[in-house]
A and B are shown apart, each in its own frame.
Chain A
């Protein structure tokens, strides 16, 4: 039987939340019948999204939370990570594959999300923070319909 179609979690702005988010979404994806490789990639993308939210967005501020939601339909798994930080302009994030950036210690998070998911949308919500929407498309038979 397919799992719940929606997941909503409020996370503290701590490093522990990164593992919590990854495990919660992996379980959600598994319960909705996604294949193992997809589950791994989704977990990794969520991990990177929540790291960005905690570290760069909320800057470990314990007064701020990270909101994580996931929705499963027959066509796709949509995951949203939203922080309460100032946001950023994705055009200003250096290309980690550029020769001069290959040996940089950081700056690969968004790149990995793009690599592992089918779609990535970044939206600055002003005072409400930064919203990262990541989508994994599913083959028609992947997500089991309830019934």
Chain B
């Protein structure tokens, strides 16, 4: 199963609900296109909900990092919400847990952008 992405707007923040696998190929390109599309429309605050993302490989990690820098370079912020244990562990061993702001509660995450 590859990735599915749907975007909802809550206040000024775009929440992207992702599900499936963020891996080399379709998975990472879907994430890239979704984030680029939001940035091109001027979206400054993006919350990636990874609650239903079961698997990420090195390409997926690369795409998350790339999305983070793309948004940051445009003066915006990209944060993560609801990591499954395997994804959490992966961000921890790659030290990216120190780079990304990760939330477990959507309301608190939205509030943190304010």
Contact = CB atoms under 8 A, between A and B. Distances in A.
Binding partners A and B:
yes
Interface stretch (A1-9, A59-67, A78-86, A100-108): A100-108
Contacts of A97: 94-95
Nearest to B90: A112
Nearest to B96: A102
B58 A102 contact: no
A102 B24 contact: no
Interface residues of A, number: 20
Contact of B57 (A44, A55, A102, A115): A44
A108 B95 contact: no
B114 interface: no
Given A103-B69, A105-B62, A106-B58, A111 B94 contact: yes
Interface size class of B (residues with CB under 8 A): 20 to 34
A106 B63 CA distance: 9
Interface in A66-125: 96-97, 102-106, 108-109, 111-112, 115
25 contacts: A15-B24, A15-B25, A18-B25, A44-B57, A47-B23, A47-B57, A51-B57, A51-B59, A55-B24, A96-B94, A103-B65, A103-B68, A103-B69, A104-B65, A105-B62, A105-B63, A105-B66, A106-B58, A106-B59, A108-B58, A108-B61, A108-B62, A111-B94, A112-B58, A112-B94
